[in-house]
Amino acid sequence: MTLRDAIEGKEYVIKGIETEDEELSAFLFSLGCYSGEAITVVSHLKGGCVVSVKDGRYNMDSQLADAIFI
């Protein structure tokens, strides 16, 4: 299941990042999105979602949310 399918307010553990784009993968890693890290969807938006990772909140578009498997 991806972040787009996640329930708001529930904490999940990232199982993997699946993308062909190395730049996207490196960007997600710099945000703290990598396997084994906890992530929470704060809210779903029309074009993506707001997530909480470590001590930060980020707005992710659909492409980013679909690349993160929980």
**How confident is the model over 12-63, as pLDDT tens digits?**
999 999 988 899 888 888 888 889 999 999 999 888 899 999 889 999 988 8
- DSSP notation for 22-58: HHHHHHHHHHT--TT-EEEEEEEETTEEEEEETTEEE
What confidence score (pLDDT) does residue 24 get? 86
**Which residue is listed with tokens 């707001």?**
50
What confidence score (pLDDT) does residue 12 get? 95
The answer, yes or no, to whether residue 4 has pLDDT greater than 90, is: no
